[in-house]
Structure 1
Amino acid sequence: MSTFTSEVRPQVLSMMDVFKDNNFRIPFYQRDYSWGNDEVGDFWDDLMDVFNNNQNNHFFGQLVTFEHADVQDLIDGQQRVTTSTIFMSAVFNIASDIIKNNKLSDDPLIDLKLLQRSIQKSIRQNSQTPALVLQAQSKSSNLLQNYLIGLFSNQIEITDEYKNIEPIKNINNAYNQLYQYVQTLIKSEKTINGRINALNQIFNSFCDKFYVSMITAPNRQDAFIIFETLNSRGKDLAPSDIIKTHLMSLSSSQSDEQSEDEEKFQNKWNFVSNRLSKNSNSLTKFIRSYWSASHKLVMSRQLYRSISNYITTKNEAESFLDDLKELVDLYNVLNSPRQTKNNLNYLEDSYLTDMISILRSMQVKLYYPIMLAMYRRGYNPSDMRKVIRKVLCIFVRHRMICNDGTNKLETGFSNVAQDIWNQNTVDVNDIIGELNQHLLKSSSETKANFNVLQKEGGSAGAKRWSLTYLLFKLYQVDQHSDFESNSMYDPDINLDGYKLIRIGNDEVADEYQNYIGNWTLIEPQLSNIKKIGLIDALKRSDLNNNKYLAQYIKNHGNQWTVDDIQSRQQEFSELATMIW
């Protein structure tokens, strides 16, 4: 890796000087323009502070570039530079609108034309070397650049050619937002001269009083090092964005043109990114799960540092990308196992898919590294099913019943995944043995905690699913068994067709309301207990467990007491260690 040299040039520049003295190009591997309403709104608020003399100037952030053939490749700062260009196009077009819609004397007309000429001189959009060239989407065309240039001719409409390109939509939204901000500002002036003065003042506030720290490196590698150092804590960029830049730096050549290796790396990254809807946060989570399986468990903010320490060559970067390509579809299945037919059938094992669906419904993701490692090492679905069944048991005992934190589970699952990935543990029984030894709560501890276990229930989400799952499995194996199938997703078992109700409400002390022994599942049409009556509702239910409860309460003087709840809960605690 190269070291910094005396040729690294730091400068502090006004935005006028930034555009006047440089020709920027955004490389193909940079992320697309992504600023939304919040970021554009923050930009305008900062500009208003300067415009209203609330502050003398504004630090607009950093730019990192490397220079070649009189062009600066913009490695960091493209969102700010692109927004600046969009802002100047809005000012330029508003000046054109004023000229077009008003009869002006020579003096204000000259002022507006000087303003437009200053913008044209800064942007140079019609020259061979424009001030900013956006990244090309393909070798044959650059639709982003064409749209950006068109803004200065008031070609704002998103045509069919542009309608499916997300960064063009973002540019369009930013333009419309800034255009409206400027229009609203100048229309607060009652006279044309006042509006022209305000337009000039807002432009000058930006060009003369916004400044950046620009670091120009002598080569691309040094520029990448500076960029990574400035952004490695991930405050402005998602860790996946910084990781991408690191990978691309390992593939890069020093020539101006995109090399075959760079294009290959870019295509592989795009494949993974597209599978995750180009969402940087989803990419970060996926890479973190992969890294937890293959190398080391780290927090998201530490992810880039860890990866950049291990992946230092082109071959290592390519292997990393190949792994991501192989595993990204499985990651999508883990996140949404029943979303599409392809996801549903991806693992070719309905019970394995069921268990993943149950874990997903309870928002459990800690085990992802184990699944990624087993899939990467070619385990068959039957073996995966055995391991994930154990994972489910561990989670239920550790988290749902004993209510312990997840740190131990996350670390433990990652360690097991790494043993699988590195083939230190190969036999599926050894994997289960490792899980049992390090993570499975004892039966005595599980029983003791279940005896006092409470759940809030809820009408939707993980809380509802957790309690529904517990009752479903308990009802499966107790003496009044209702559900013969092992699958919560059997077509004949529609758990969405049941609601959670407390057996005793007003009659039971508050501290026992949420005990598991006080909960049951009942059909929605019977859930209005106050109207139907508890015993009649339970008696009319299709569930044998509810019919038994109805008879039990009737036989005990229509009373449901704390002792009844505790007795039922103790029975459940015995069953819990059999099930999990």
Structure 2
Amino acid sequence: MVENSSDASAKWEKVFDTLDRDSSRTSRFIRAYWAFNEALVNKDKLFRTMRKSSNLKNAEDAERILADLAQLVDIYNAMDKGRKSQFEDKDLGDLISVAASLVSTYHPVILAMYDRKYGEKDVKIVLNKILGVYALNIFILGEVANDLEKDLVKVAQKIKKGEVSGVSAIVDSLNSLQKKKKAAEFLQVWTRDKWTINTSRNTNQSQTYLLSEFLATQETGKKSSAEITAYDLFKKYRLIRLFTEDQLGSDRDFANRMGNFTLIEKSIDWDELASSDDKAKLLKKSMVLGTEKLSEMIDGWNGEKIKNRSLYFGSLVSSIW
């Protein structure tokens, strides 16, 4: 189908080599490309659907698609593997790295932006908003990720067609997907017990991301928000539960509420079963101000304190995302 076979082979080799000559990764990339250009289809139906497309009928069409794939593959590879070195904007690289540990179905939106020649500054704004959509709709409310993928593809297709033009318009489209009020209300009674039913979600990393954003909103002279939410988030920090069900006694139903969790450096040897005094000493060592301050609150820790902390987190939803 392609007239210049040597040029086509070179472009295909670039795509395949960049993706480690991994047929599964290559198929996912082509699926993401096809999603913002044509339609979102299941991977097992992808190539059959492409062959039937009216936009892939001759050598010229095939050359165009190969050229697009070769141009976008480096960006896709960086998103897929979380390679911050691909981007000149450090903050964008950090966001890409965090996103790679959390989600993958956002790729068509970012690919569409690069296809339309948006710069890194705009891509950073949009990716931050996309993470906000996931934070509220998926990580807090627990909605089905496949449904959100379909909505994001619609946004990506509008970017490609020029129907949504400019970063403000893209953000507005993403804002329409967010369920801020519902998420803020639900966070007050959110419990990890129900969340873990969905085994397709990486519960620890999702909750770690949420807490990193909640904790980063607090003024700190010890650890900046950029440092908390940067690339090494999942390497440097771990999610800890402050008190167990048995330790909370009659307030045991609050044990898995958001307010009973925080982040602490992996270098600190946290012991969930330790006494309140020992826990206070460990929390005091943290460079995360929101965690360090818990050392002053841990005495008499109970359901009411957990509830109030969860309410506080809920009040931050609109300002963060």
TM-score normalised to structure 1 length: 0.50
- Secondary structure at the counterpart of residue 142 of structure 2: coil
**Deviation for aligned residue 1:530:** 4.1
Q: 1:466 to 1:483 in 2, by over 3 A?
A: farther
- Secondary structure at the counterpart of residue 525 of structure 1: coil
Aligned to 2:211: 471
Following superposition of structure 1 onto structure 2, how do residues 413-492 of structure 1 map, counting pairs within 5 Å? 413-437=152-176, 439-441=177-179, 443-455=180-192, 462-478=202-218, 483-488=223-228
| Contact map agreement 2:36 2:109 (CA 8 A) in 1 | yes
Aligned to 1:285: 28
**Deviation for aligned residue 1:575:** 1.2
Following superposition of structure 1 onto structure 2, how do residues 216-227 of structure 1 map, counting pairs within 5 Å? none
| Contact map agreement 1:288 1:298 (CA 8 A) in 2 | yes
How far, CA to CA, are the matches of 2:149 and 2:9 in structure 1?
32
Q: 1:487 to 1:425 in 2, by over 3 A?
A: farther
How far, CA to CA, are the matches of 1:522 and 1:429 in structure 2?
36
Question: Which of 292, 301, 308 is the equivalent residue of 1:560?
Answer: 301
How far, CA to CA, are the matches of 2:189 and 2:5 in structure 1?
59
**Deviation for aligned residue 1:485:** 3.5
Following superposition of structure 1 onto structure 2, how do residues 174-573 of structure 1 map, counting pairs within 5 Å? 250-251=1-2, 261-310=4-53, 311-338=56-83, 344-362=84-102, 364-437=103-176, 439-441=177-179, 443-455=180-192, 462-478=202-218, 483-488=223-228, 496-505=235-244, 506-508=246-248, 509-523=251-265, 524-530=267-273, 533-554=278-299, 559-573=300-314
- Secondary structure at the counterpart of residue 354 of structure 1: helix
How far, CA to CA, are the matches of 1:335 and 1:494 in structure 2?
17
| Contact map agreement 2:223 2:287 (CA 8 A) in 1 | no
**Deviation for aligned residue 1:513:** 1.9
Question: Which of 313, 317, 321 is the equivalent residue of 1:576?
Answer: 317
From the two aligned structures, give the one with the greater strand fraction: 1
Q: Deviations for 1:139-175, whole angstroms, at most 9, x for unmatched residues?
A: xxxxxxxxxxxxxxxxxxxxxxxxxxxxxxxxxxxxx
**Deviation for aligned residue 1:570:** 0.5
Root-mean-square deviation (CA, aligned residues, Å) is: 2.5
- Secondary structure at the counterpart of residue 507 of structure 1: helix
**Deviation for aligned residue 1:516:** 0.9
Q: In structure 2, what residue type is equivalent to 1:446?
A: A
- Secondary structure at the counterpart of residue 520 of structure 1: strand
| Contact map agreement 1:455 1:516 (CA 8 A) in 2 | yes
TM-score normalised to structure 2 length: 0.87
Q: In structure 2, what residue type is equivalent to 1:354?
A: D
- Secondary structure at the counterpart of residue 478 of structure 1: coil
Q: In structure 1, what residue type is equivalent to 2:128?
A: R
From the two aligned structures, give the one with the greater helix fraction: 2
How far, CA to CA, are the matches of 2:225 and 2:286 in structure 1?
19
- Secondary structure at the counterpart of residue 500 of structure 1: strand
How far, CA to CA, are the matches of 2:104 and 2:16 in structure 1?
20
Q: In structure 2, what residue type is equivalent to 1:474?
A: F
Q: 1:301 to 1:528 in 2, by over 3 A?
A: same
Q: 1:317 to 1:449 in 2, by over 3 A?
A: same
| Contact map agreement 1:349 1:382 (CA 8 A) in 2 | yes
**Deviation for aligned residue 1:531:** 5.3
| Contact map agreement 1:488 1:495 (CA 8 A) in 2 | no
How far, CA to CA, are the matches of 1:478 and 1:489 in structure 2?
13
Aligned to 1:194: none
Higher relative contact order (CA 8 A, sep 6+): 2
Q: 1:308 to 1:513 in 2, by over 3 A?
A: same
| Contact map agreement 2:95 2:230 (CA 8 A) in 1 | no
| Contact map agreement 1:526 1:541 (CA 8 A) in 2 | no
**Deviation for aligned residue 1:346:** 2.3
Q: Deviations for 1:340-370, whole angstroms, at most 9, x for unmatched residues?
A: xxxx3323211112111111111x1111011
How far, CA to CA, are the matches of 1:325 and 1:549 in structure 2?
50
Deviates more, 1:397-406 or 1:545-554: 545-554
- Secondary structure at the counterpart of residue 553 of structure 1: coil
Q: 1:515 to 1:266 in 2, by over 3 A?
A: same
| Contact map agreement 2:218 2:289 (CA 8 A) in 1 | no
Q: 1:529 to 1:299 in 2, by over 3 A?
A: closer
Q: Which consecutive residues of structure 2, in runs of 5 or more, have no partner in the other structure?
A: none
